[in-house]
Amino acid sequence: MNRKSLYLMAGLALALALVNAAVFVYYPMSIGLSPQKPPVYFDLGSNANQKDLWGNTITVSLSEANTNLAVQVNPTYQDNYYKNITVIKNQDTNPDDVYYILFNVTDTISDTNVTTAELIVSDSSGTPIATIDLKTNGVQPSSWITVNPGETLTVSLKITITPDSGVTYSTSPSLADGSAIVKLIYSPQNSESP
C-alpha cells in the first residue's frame, strides 16, 4: 500500500469514528400526578339487565369505577332495537365544566348478515343527537357531542340481521363476527381531535 492510500484510509476511519460518536445529556424533569374522580362515566340505562328474547337478559356490566362497559344482547332476524341500555353522565355540576365526547370504533362487527349495527346517542329529552356505526372503524361522529354539567345522555343499540336464504323461523342467526370494540373519548375542549 502506498502512503496516499494509507492516509486516505486513516482519514476515512477517523471520519467514521466522529460520525458514530454519540453524546447523551440528561436534564431532570419533575412530573406530578393529581388523580381526580372521572367527571364523565357510564351508568346503567333503564333497560340494562332486563329481559331479552328467549328468557335471556340484556346484560350490561360496569367496572368498579363505571369507566368500562360491557354489553351482551340476544338479537334475532330483522330490526332489533335495544332502548336505553346505558347512559353517559357528566357528574360535574360546575356551570363552566362542559365535556365533549366522541366514540372510537377500534374493532367492527364485520359479519355480512349484520346489515346495521349502531349506537344511538340521545340527549336528556330523548332526541337522538348522534349515531355511531359499529360496522365502520374510526372516530365518530364527525363533530364533538356536548355533555353539559349534570347532563345524562342515553345510549341505545340497533342491530339488523338479514337471514341467509333457506333459513326458517326455527333457526337462530349464525354470525361469524358479532362483536365490536368501542372507546368513549371525552375532553373538556372541542377545538382539537384526538
DSSP 67-130: --EEEE----SEEEEEEEEEEEEE----TT--EEEEEEEEE----TTEEEEEEEEE-TTS-EEE
Tell me how many degrees the CA angle 156-160-164 measures, rounded to the nearest 5: 160
Is pLDDT above 70 for 18?
no
Instruction: Go through the domains of the chain in sequence order and give each one's CATH number.
Output: 40-166+175-187 (2.60.40)
Q: What is the mean pLDDT of residues 105-125?
A: 96
CA triple 175-181-113, angle to 5 deg:
25
- Contact between 153 and 142 (Cβ < 8 Å): no
Q: Which of 144, 140, 122 is nearest to 180 (CA)?
A: 140
Region 155-164: mean pLDDT is 95
What is the enclosing helix (H) or strand (E) of 162? Answer: none
Residue 85 confidence (pLDDT): 98
CB 158 within 8 A of CB 81: yes
pTM of structure:
0.83
Q: What's the pLDDT score for residue 12?
A: 65
